[in-house]
A and B are shown apart, each in its own frame.
Chain A
Amino acid sequence: MNTASKFTNWLVQNSTPFILAVPLLAVALLTGAINNLLITRIITVLFINLILVISLQMFMGNSGILSFVHVGFMGIGAYVSVLFSMTPEAKTATLPDLYPFLQPIHLPFLASLFIGAFVAMVLAAILTYPLMRLSDAAAVITLFALLVIINTVLVHYSILTNGPRTLFGVDNYTNLTNSTVFGLIAIFLAFLFKESPIGLKLRASRDDRYAAASIGVNIVQVRWVSFTLSAFVAGFAGGLWAHFITSFSPYAFYLTETFNILTMLVIGGTGGVSGAVIGTVVVTLVREALRGVENSINIAQVLPFTLVGFTEVFLSIALILILIYRPSGIMGGREVRWRQKVKSFEEPQEAEKAAGSSV
């Protein structure tokens, strides 16, 4: 077999991220060409959401453990990156009690993002190692407890976070271009991780804990590696989000946001990267459409009261219906892929079907 056909073979085997990335790239390019403020904003948010949902998928989809805590690591990434990217003047204004050694630091955007993600990753590695032994309800409650702890610390650590008040003075560095680039990188990263030996072991432990352990899979270790990596991605997304929204409070990283990304992932399907991508696209578009409706109703004052919470009500009903009628999501845990003979998104192999049955 020559090099060219080897490459084609590899490409066919790993077609999923390419198939997912190409339409997204096209959408991003089109958005850039249209250059409409609102559309650009929506698509940028879409890519930031995508990175978050992918970070959740990397852990939850492969390990089968429901995680509420990822939004907490998103928050850590957001606050840490902001501390490094803000100008000293802005820090004096918004964080007067900041530690003196942090005060003069002013790093480029990209470096700040990586520091934020790195800190989130290190904290995740330290905090969650002992937790990875737990499964089922115990795991869910501990990860939930961790979210509460992180949020409590963010709310009260005024020196670094300005407490429960809004942190302002962040520069707007995130734009369509960089969020698209990182969103596409995240797709490839998540796919490569899923197909890597560790990803495979992790999925084996998800499908049957005892069988996986019996063939020598160190479940705690593979879960831990996956969690740590996904916390890095979540922290990175947090940094991107912070430099997009430019003023935020710790309450942004709590149950509402958890619900948002969980809805996207579950509606798309937790089992695969394709599910994460499709869920993000569908839910982001539906959400923006509903918000538009909500806002125009409120502005037109058709109703005697202001409409609040309509979007969430709709999405939570959609989520419940999906869980009842199609618990493995739109994609059913499958990946879109290109086959040499049939050029369509077709039926999965038996093994994948089985894997897709768990949410």
Chain B
Amino acid sequence: MINLEWFLNALTLGSLCALLALGLVIVYGILKLVNFAYGELIMIAGYTIYILSTAGALPWLVMAVIAVLVAMVTSYLTELVAFRPVRTKSLTAMLITSFAVSTLLQNGALLIISPRARAVPLPPIFSQSVTILGADVPWRNILTIVTSLVLLALLNLLLKRTVLGIALRAAADNFNMTRMLGVPANLVISSAFAISGFLAGVVSLFWIGRTASVTPTIGAAPLLIAFVATVIGGMNSLTGAVVGGYVYGFLFSLIGVLLPQSMLDYREAFLFLIVIIVLLFRPEGLVRSKTTGERVG
């Protein structure tokens, strides 16, 4: 059933995916690191809200801001402690490190908090909806779409108009040349991780808004989505990530409509099949970039 409601749902999912994919690609573009620990940042933000809500009665917005900040700091710390020392080693070493960091954070949550789901408070607006042109649209979806668009616009400004943004884009294009021109490598990489954490934190608010609970393994699903979206869009381009995110949102919703009921369980398998096909026949993704795919050594 393709109607306005379907379209808005797809757009909501697409917006979330675009932010997710962007967070993954901003690190990948510079380090060529597929960060498996990315999903855990979403979990961390969720648990931050949970812990804050048990500690005292803060307004939701304050808790949300703190949660995003904690995700940013965690992302930066993983870079500082785990990724920086292995950066100069092989790509495989870096990938395994990110897998280990992911396991560490997940099991850390198991150990410190609980394997069971924890309730996370939501603002009342998340459960209200509004009627637009006969379609029943939850406010959460509208907020997701608007927030994503605003953030994408702001990030665009940051990347195009500020020195840091230009350094980031230059580093993604040719990291060694950028370093030779005097841009400090650590600063660029740390900023990339912080932005990545920021995006994961924001996504977390809306992702958790769907279920109002957080578990240690909540990061797995968004991580897989980010993988699919970045590969479809193009791993070497920030624009590609955003395009890939929206394409994923519509593709996922389309498969939901087109696939017969009996095959719907295999939806994830189909999406990952698309990933493999894209990597085989158009490894540069939908949006081509000039980048060579050279790695930081």
Interface positions of A (Cβ within 8 A of B) = 64-66, 130-131, 133-134, 136-138, 140-142, 144-146, 148-149, 152-153, 155-156, 255, 259, 262-263, 266, 270, 305, 307-310, 312-313, 315-317, 319-320, 323-324, 327, 358-359
Chain B residues closer than 8 Å to A155, beta-carbon distance: 265
Interface positions of B (Cβ within 8 A of A) = 28, 32, 34, 82, 85-86, 89-93, 95-97, 99-101, 103-104, 106-111, 114-115, 216, 220, 224, 227, 231, 235, 265-266, 268-269, 272-273, 275-276, 279-280, 283, 293, 295
In whole angstroms, how far apart are the Cα atoms of A66 and B98 in the complex?
Answer: 13
Tell me how far the C-beta of A206 lies from the nearest C-beta in chain B, rounded to whole angstroms: 10
Which of B85, B90, B103, B111 counts the most A-chain CB atoms under 10 A from its CB? B103
A320 touches B101 (CB 8 A): yes
Contact of A319 among B85, B100, B106, B269 (CB under 8 A): B100
In whole angstroms, how far apart are the Cα atoms of A137 and B30 in the complex?
Answer: 13
A308 touches B269 (CB 8 A): no
7 A-B pairs with least C-beta separation: A309-B110, A309-B107, A312-B107, A316-B104, A156-B265, A145-B272, A152-B269
A324 touches B96 (CB 8 A): no
Chain B residues closer than 8 Å to A323, beta-carbon distance: 86, 89, 93, 96-97, 100
Contact of B269 among A133, A140, A148, A305 (CB under 8 A): A148
A140 touches B95 (CB 8 A): yes
Tell me how far the C-beta of B136 lies from the nearest C-beta in chain A, rounded to whole angstroms: 31
23 A-B residue pairings within 8 Å (CB atoms): A66-B96, A133-B280, A137-B28, A137-B34, A138-B279, A140-B95, A142-B275, A146-B272, A149-B273, A152-B269, A153-B266, A156-B266, A263-B100, A309-B107, A309-B108, A309-B111, A309-B216, A316-B103, A319-B97, A320-B100, A324-B82, A324-B85, A359-B96
Contact of B96 among A134, A266, A307, A315 (CB under 8 A): A266
A142 touches B276 (CB 8 A): yes
In whole angstroms, how far apart are the Cα atoms of A66 and B220 in the complex?
Answer: 20
B111 touches A262 (CB 8 A): no
Given contacts A131-B280, A316-B104, contact A141 B96 (CB under 8 A): no
Chain B residues closer than 8 Å to A149, beta-carbon distance: 268-269, 272-273
Known: A148-B268, A148-B272, A320-B100. 6 other contacts (CB 8 A): A152-B265, A156-B266, A259-B99, A312-B107, A313-B107, A319-B97
Chain A residues closer than 8 Å to B273, beta-carbon distance: 145, 149
Tell me how far the C-beta of A60 lies from the nearest C-beta in chain B, rounded to whole angstroms: 8
A134 touches B279 (CB 8 A): yes
Given contacts A145-B272, A156-B266, contact A130 B280 (CB under 8 A): yes
Chain A residues closer than 8 Å to B92, beta-carbon distance: 64-66, 270, 358-359
In whole angstroms, how far apart are the Cα atoms of A334 and B106 in the complex?
Answer: 33
Chain A's closest residue to B265 (CB) is A156
B82 touches A320 (CB 8 A): yes
Given contacts A141-B279, A152-B266, contact A310 B111 (CB under 8 A): yes
Contact of A316 among B101, B220, B266, B283 (CB under 8 A): B101
B86 touches A308 (CB 8 A): no
In whole angstroms, how far apart are the Cα atoms of A305 and B114 in the complex?
Answer: 9
Tell me how far the C-beta of A154 lies from the nearest C-beta in chain B, rounded to whole angstroms: 10
Tell me how far the C-beta of B235 lies from the nearest C-beta in chain A, rounded to whole angstroms: 7
Tell me how far the C-beta of A140 lies from the nearest C-beta in chain B, rounded to whole angstroms: 6
B108 touches A313 (CB 8 A): yes
Tell me how far the C-beta of A165 lies from the nearest C-beta in chain B, rounded to whole angstroms: 14
Chain B residues closer than 8 Å to A255, beta-carbon distance: 220
A359 touches B90 (CB 8 A): yes
Chain B's closest residue to A311 (CB) is B107
Chain A's closest residue to B262 (CB) is A156
In whole angstroms, how far apart are the Cα atoms of A319 and B95 in the complex?
Answer: 12
Which of A133, A148, A155, A315 counts the most B-chain CB atoms under 10 A from its CB? A148
Chain A residues closer than 8 Å to B109, beta-carbon distance: 309
Tell me how far the C-beta of A277 lies from the nearest C-beta in chain B, rounded to whole angstroms: 19
Tell me how far the C-beta of B116 lies from the nearest C-beta in chain A, rounded to whole angstroms: 10
Contact of A134 among B91, B101, B216, B280 (CB under 8 A): B280
A319 touches B276 (CB 8 A): no
In whole angstroms, how far apart are the Cα atoms of A323 and B269 in the complex?
Answer: 32
Chain A residues closer than 8 Å to B272, beta-carbon distance: 145-146, 148-149, 152
B85 touches A141 (CB 8 A): no
Contact of B268 among A152, A313, A317 (CB under 8 A): A152
Chain B residues closer than 8 Å to A320, beta-carbon distance: 82, 97, 100-101, 104
Tell me how far the C-beta of A214 lies from the nearest C-beta in chain B, rounded to whole angstroms: 20
A313 touches B111 (CB 8 A): yes
Chain A residues closer than 8 Å to B93, beta-carbon distance: 323, 327, 359
Contact of A141 among B34, B108, B295 (CB under 8 A): B34
Given contacts A148-B272, A316-B104, contact A137 B89 (CB under 8 A): no
A327 touches B34 (CB 8 A): no
Chain A's closest residue to B280 (CB) is A130
In whole angstroms, how far apart are the Cα atoms of A315 and B102 in the complex?
Answer: 12
Tell me how far the C-beta of B98 lies from the nearest C-beta in chain A, rounded to whole angstroms: 10
In whole angstroms, how far apart are the Cα atoms of A146 and B220 in the complex?
Answer: 16
Chain B residues closer than 8 Å to A324, beta-carbon distance: 82, 85-86
Contact of A308 among B104, B115, B235 (CB under 8 A): B115
